[in-house]
Structure 1
Amino acid sequence: MEQQLDIGRFISLKKQEVGADERDAISKLEVCTQSIYRWLQYCEYHYVNLVETATESNLRFDRISAYRRAGETVSVRYVYEANIAAFLNSLHALLDSFPYLLNLFIPVKEDPESTSIKWHESFIKNYEDMDFYDELAGFLMDTTFHKVKGYVNTIKHKHLIRISNQWDHLEFEEYTYKKPCRDVQGKINFKPEPVTGENVVSFIEKCHDELIPRLFNLCESVLLFKSSELSNDL
């Protein structure tokens, strides 16, 4: 994840728009952007720990004994399982906070605490006339995003998803996510889709190297739209 996000630009552009006296709006945005920054750091921390732990040599030792690396107080299995769950939980929290950030930055709902502010077609359609709408709608249709949601909702509301050690790599045994698709009228529907035997580290690398940068690109498009709008108002 070489690309970075200048999260502070949300604050600076909002201040430029509403003025420093709008303390409530600025304060909410500050808290939200700080949280997003933290979630990004948590993702990076757990990603690095997972990659360093789930090596082929560690996995082989894990298969034949309750192996602990030097300095670890628990077995390698608990280390990689904990970092898998923590990375995906942190990523889910990061992604699910974006609609709240977007509505604070470009309000379409008067009540910023409304439960309708979420990744849903009815909410994002409020931005249909804005330049970044296609990217926003595209993110809602992203399969990797919905696999993250499916994984986290399963471990949060039902049970932990078993991780199978295949000696040289890790696999999810099975879970189900809601795969997005469009019907003939163009409306988004979701159908249950099983995930079986997917390489865990490869999936998390895809989240880290593709999904998070895709969110960064969406943020940049939103910032560019607001910056252009403010320039035109001068």
Structure 2
Amino acid sequence: MESYKNKLDIKDLLNLKKEELKTDDSVEIHSLNLALQSIQKRLDYCEYYFKEFIDFSTKDDLLLELTPKHHPNCISSRTIFEASTYAFIQNLHAVIDSLPYALNIIFTVNQTIEDNKVGWYWDFIKQFKPQPFFKSLNLMYNDELFLKLKKLSNTIKHKHLIRIKNNGYALTFDPFSYENKKEIIEVTNQNVKELIIDTHDKLIPKLLDLYTQIKNAKQKELAALK
């Protein structure tokens, strides 16, 4: 079922860029539209996988997974909750990871919009210090949940799946670590459901609020030029 809760204001963000460039058709507008549409698609995917995870990680599912009696042609609850976990993590990470790309089109600090240096790098992020949304941008840059999500996603994508253990009443990840301000943080017994719910309920609203602040800042900037 599609969720209509977490929606990005694509139309207003595009209209502001069109107003700034005084055109409806440009490389920047096309790229921004594609980026924002993709972000919204991934937000919808996050909602789908979040629901799948919640629906198939109940205590009954966890107990059943330990003593499987599925028909051989059926998909096991383990396959469903694992696939939903990994897909949710990777899509949510991609949603947040693509913010610098869209931001650089809205407030251009790097004229080469496809430059690999546009990303969650401090040399890029610090260029927005004069903007009213910088505090929120910096908070996202240093957010513990985001850093944890980033590590999980990159490991799953580039190295291997991080195993999910089932003790019959809860799911936990195998130990992993992530870096925060040059300090290595070791994570053991990370409850999967707690992480999924925390990132869903906290990171997505923070992200959407940040886009609202970016939109408001662009509106203010254009109004000052009139």
Fold match (TM-score > 0.5): yes
Kept after mapping to 1: 8 A contact 2:100/2:119: yes
Equivalent residue for 1:126? 127
Question: 2:8 aligned to 5, 24, 36, which one?
Answer: 5
SS in 2 for 1:224: helix
- The runs of at least 4 consecutive aligned structure 1 residues that moved more than 6 Å come to none
Question: 1:200 aligned to 192, 195, 217, which one?
Answer: 192
Partners of 1:55 and 1:44 lie apart in 2 by 18
Partners of 1:66 and 1:177 lie apart in 2 by 38
Equivalent residue for 2:61? 58
Equivalent residue for 1:24? 27
After superposition, what is the alpha-carbon deviation per residue over 1:122-172, rounded to whole angstroms, capped at 9, x for unaligned?
Answer: 101111111111111111000000101110111122211110112122111
Equivalent residue for 2:52? 49
Give the partner amino acid of 2:8. L
Provide the alpha-carbon RMSD of the alignment: 1.7
Equivalent residue for 1:230? 222
SS in 1 for 2:138: helix
Equivalent residue for 2:183? 191
Gaps of 5+ in 2: none
Partners of 2:126 and 2:6 lie apart in 1 by 28
Give the partner amino acid of 1:64. T
Partners of 2:53 and 2:70 lie apart in 1 by 16
Partners of 1:67 and 1:117 lie apart in 2 by 48
Partners of 1:37 and 1:140 lie apart in 2 by 21
TM-score (norm 1): 0.90
Partners of 1:23 and 1:113 lie apart in 2 by 15
Q: State the Cα distance separating 1:3 from its structure 2 match.
A: 5.0
Give the partner amino acid of 2:36. T
TM-score (norm 2): 0.93
Kept after mapping to 1: 8 A contact 2:6/2:43: no
Q: Aligned residues: percent identity? A: 35
SS in 2 for 1:171: strand
Q: State the Cα distance separating 1:176 from its structure 2 match.
A: 1.4
Partners of 1:112 and 1:66 lie apart in 2 by 53
Kept after mapping to 2: 8 A contact 1:46/1:84: yes
Q: 1:67 to 1:174 in 2, by over 3 A?
A: farther
Give the partner amino acid of 1:171. T
The size of the alignment, in residue pairs, is: 223
Equivalent residue for 2:106? 105
SS in 2 for 1:109: coil
After superposition, what is the alpha-carbon deviation per residue over 1:46-80, rounded to whole angstroms, capped at 9, x for unaligned?
Answer: 00000000011111111122547xxx831110110
Partners of 1:4 and 1:158 lie apart in 2 by 32
Kept after mapping to 1: 8 A contact 2:10/2:33: no
SS in 1 for 2:183: strand
Equivalent residue for 2:138? 137
Partners of 1:37 and 1:85 lie apart in 2 by 19
Partners of 1:19 and 1:67 lie apart in 2 by 60
**5 Å matches for 1:158-173?**
158-173=159-174
Q: 1:40 to 1:3 in 2, by over 3 A?
A: closer
2:224 corresponds to 1:221: no
